[in-house]
Amino acid sequence: MTVHGREKTPGPLRLSVPLEAGRGAGRYAVLLALCALCYSNSLHGEFVHDDVWAISNNPDVRPGSSLQNIFTNDFWGKRMADNTSHKSYRPLCILTFKLNILLGGMTPLYFHVVNVCLHCAVTCLLMHTCDRCVFDDPRLAFLTALLFAVHPIHTEAVSGIVGRADVLACMLFLLAFLSYVRSVGVCGSGSADSLPSTVSVWALGASLLLGTCAMLVKETGITVFGVCVLYDALVRSLTFHLSVLRSRHLSGSKMKDLLRISVPFLKRACAVSLYVAVIMSFRLWLMGGSMPLFSEQDNPASFSPHLLTRFLTYCYLLAFNAWLLLSPAVLCYDWQVGSIPLVESLWDMRNVAALLLGVVMVALCLHCVMSLQRLENREVLLGVLFLVFPFIPASNLFFRVGFVVAERVLYMPSMGYCILVAHGLGRLCSVVGRWGTTALTVSTLLLLLLFSWKTVQQNDIWLSREALFRSGIQTLPHNAKVHYNYANFLKDRGRHQEAIHHYKTALRLYPRHASAMNNLGTLTRHPEDAEHYYRTALDTNPQHNRALFNLGNLLNCSACCSIGLCVCVCVCVCVRGCHIIDTALLYSSLSLWQKADWKNICLTHR
């Protein structure tokens, strides 16, 4: 049987995957049941962490808001042109949140149900993709999907509601890839002696549309176009090129013939490249030609003045992300502010991990080259493409990102990891004999059970703000950001003494945390101490509007009334109009005649 130019033959593999007799629909049913079981305990979680800002506090998702705002604002509801915008343009993901609210209100349950259903769909699509384009043995495609279904690295993307951007983008990524594969014929389909031609312009157009939708769900979706073109070049077209080169001694005229028969692929590659250039230009235009502004605590390595430190740290972070895929034992919702110290020296032992990753990747690339020359073993190439390309936007390679490590961004790259693991197990089973195969099968079952247990355990952490923030304290006690987040939660719950303790811990770990200083000032009983914290916060970050407002309010309530009024005027000038709650607080601290003046001041500086 031939599937898009690749003959599916029984391989030498003897991997005894459970439910071997369950074929077709049975395997899909097993995958759906496994996904549902692993994530059933996440359904009753509340809005936590970024969910609050992207959904609860986002005016764009409310039923009465204009649809136009979704396509002009960023993921968090700010105008894309705003210099404080995160520049994350994901309108299709916001549309799904809005639809969730229209159908089920603000009940978190329905948001979680959609996320779990999307994860089920991605898992099934991955098996279909592997069965069709990667493996000859359908059992390995099934094993790949099993690993993907239960991998603990996915808990942030599936159990955290804003992780829907990663899950939905992954689904559209796979659909775009499958559409592209469908659009390309088999060798000789255009003529008796040519590269695969475009047999369906509609399928190619659908691939471009689905890839664009993936990008409008999350930016990493655009990487599918690179995967498609390289798959076409290295797996479909290069195979034919190599067979021609082996069968002919090419003269100058023969080289012209080779170029001529390459026209179908070159047309596709040029069309896709031109399309990507257009949508990338549109994306940059939306950003106003500027990149998002991040702070040092978001991505410390990118702010290092030393090129060597940046290079070594970025290399180590690549190895660290690879380790999270291999051994997801330590997981945390936030890896910022001191979680991973900078690599500042060549003698740092962590460089060994980066070097080892480099050796492995070079070995995989060499294996891919040798496999192409033998016209066999495309599994490693597809695994590397699916692993590397979706991670490129998060690698700091082309631009600064707003995080050190984010587990949710590994959702798509984990597809490549699962493909490589399944392929490796299959190759091992073909050489170790019967008893070795049995041992590998048992080990694989234990790994799946261990991953499932870890996933269920991680889901419990994402059920509530308190559980999530407390887990951060337990997992990364040296991370200032998790102490700050937990202190904010305690402050909201009225547990002020505990909040003060964690704010002070955050400042001990990261003395330049301006927001922690400001919040600590609001909890301090003594005005002198509060003023000290506000002024220190402003020394650290002169643009911290909250600290500026709090300082003005404090001075206004003290003997320095005129100074406080001047400081509050500065706040209005900085933010171009007070926020409603800030204005209410301000009016309460000023006399009636000052209230009238404040209205004029705010209107003047809008």
For the segment 277-307, what is each residue's pLDDT rounded down to a tens digit?
999 999 888 887 777 778 787 888 888 889 9
| pLDDT score at 555 | 76
The confidence band for 13, taking pLDDT boundaries of 50, 70 and 90, is very low
Instruction: State mean pLDDT over 157-164.
Output: 96
Q: How far apart are the first and last CA of the chain?
A: 69
Instruction: State mean pLDDT over 152-172.
Output: 97
Quote the crossing angle between the two packed helices 480-492 and 465-475, to the nearest 10°: 150
Instruction: Tell whether 45 is covered by a domain.
Output: yes
| pLDDT score at 569 | 47
198 phi/psi in degrees, rounded to 5: -85, 105
The confidence band for 168, taking pLDDT boundaries of 50, 70 and 90, is very high
306 phi/psi in degrees, rounded to 5: -100, 125
Instruction: Tell whether 540 is covered by a domain.
Output: no
The residue range of the domain holding 166 is 25-459
DSSP state of 236: I
| pLDDT score at 383 | 93
Give the DSSP per-residue string, 433-474: HHHHHHHHHHHHHHHHHHHHHHHHHHHHHTT-HHHHHHHHHH
The confidence band for 551, taking pLDDT boundaries of 50, 70 and 90, is confident
Instruction: Tell whether 598 is covered by a domain.
Output: no
Instruction: Tell whether 98 is covered by a domain.
Output: yes
- C-alpha 444/C-alpha 435 separation (Å) is 14
Q: Which residues contact 286 (CB under 8 A, 6 or more apart)?
A: 80, 89
DSSP state of 245: H
Per residue in 224-259, pLDDT (tens digit) is 999 999 998 887 666 555 555 555 555 555 566 667
Instruction: Tell whether 597 is covered by a domain.
Output: no
Residue 287, token pair as written in the block: 């950003």
Domain count, the chain: 1
The confidence band for 86, taking pLDDT boundaries of 50, 70 and 90, is confident
Report whether pLDDT(512) > 70: yes
Instruction: State mean pLDDT over 524-530.
Output: 86
Length of the chain: 606
Instruction: Tell whether 373 is covered by a domain.
Output: yes
Q: Are 125 and 175 in contact (CB under 8 A)?
A: yes
Instruction: State mean pLDDT over 65-86.
Output: 87
Residue with tokens 């930016």: 219
- C-alpha 498/C-alpha 487 separation (Å) is 7
- C-alpha 54/C-alpha 61 separation (Å) is 8
Report whether pLDDT(542) > 60: yes
| pLDDT score at 245 | 52
- C-alpha 440/C-alpha 261 separation (Å) is 45
Distances (CA, A) of 576 to 408, 434, 466, 603: 35, 74, 35, 9
Neighbours of 344 (CB within 10 A): 14
Distances (CA, A) of 120 to 25, 34, 249: 14, 9, 51
User: Considering the chain, what is the average pLDDT of its residues?
Assistant: 84
Q: Residue 350: how many CA atoms within 13 Å on its side-chain side? A: 18
| pLDDT score at 577 | 44
The confidence band for 314, taking pLDDT boundaries of 50, 70 and 90, is very high
| pLDDT score at 552 | 80
DSSP state of 3: E
Neighbours of 238 (CB within 10 A): 17
| pLDDT score at 257 | 64
Q: Which of 174, 51, 49 is nearest to 122 (CA)?
A: 174
Per residue in 344-364, pLDDT (tens digit) is 999 999 999 999 999 999 998
Secondary structure (H, E, C), 51-88: HHHHHHCCHHHCCCCCHHHHCCECCCCCECCCCCCCCC
Is residue 277 exposed (0-12), middle (13-18) or buried (19+ Cβ within 10 Å)? exposed
Q: Max alpha carbon distance in the chain (Å)?
A: 94
Q: Which of 219, 228, 128 is nearest to 408 (CA)?
A: 219
Helix (H) or strand (E) holding 395: none
Give the DSSP per-residue string, 306-368: -HHHHHHHHHHHHHHHHHHHH-TTS--S---TTSS-----TT-TTHHHHHHHHHHHHHHHHHH
DSSP state of 5: T
Specify the pairing of strand 2-3 against strand 6-7.
antiparallel
Q: Which of 20-24, 214-218, 222-226, 341-345 has the lowest mean pLDDT?
A: 20-24
Instruction: Tell whether 206 is covered by a domain.
Output: yes
Residue 36, token pair as written in the block: 């549902």
DSSP state of 132: I
Residue 389, token pair as written in the block: 């390309």
Distances (CA, A) of 285 to 80, 392, 454, 514: 10, 21, 43, 32
Over the range 311-335, which residues count as b (16 or more CB within 10 Å of their CB) and which as e? ebbbbbbbbbbbebbeebeebbbbb
- C-alpha 55/C-alpha 63 separation (Å) is 12
Instruction: State mean pLDDT over 77-106.
Output: 90
- C-alpha 146/C-alpha 35 separation (Å) is 9
| pLDDT score at 51 | 92
The confidence band for 519, taking pLDDT boundaries of 50, 70 and 90, is very high
The confidence band for 397, taking pLDDT boundaries of 50, 70 and 90, is confident
2 phi/psi in degrees, rounded to 5: -110, 130
Q: Are 75 and 492 in contact (CB under 8 A)?
A: no
Report whether pLDDT(409) > 80: yes
| pLDDT score at 571 | 52
**Residue percentage of the chain with pLDDT more than 70:** 82
Is residue 156 exposed (0-12), middle (13-18) or buried (19+ Cβ within 10 Å)? buried
Rg from Cα positions in the chain = 28
- C-alpha 222/C-alpha 208 separation (Å) is 10
Distances (CA, A) of 507 to 329, 483, 526: 28, 9, 19
Report whether pLDDT(373) > 70: no
Residue 233, token pair as written in the block: 């070049």
Instruction: Tell whether 233 is covered by a domain.
Output: yes
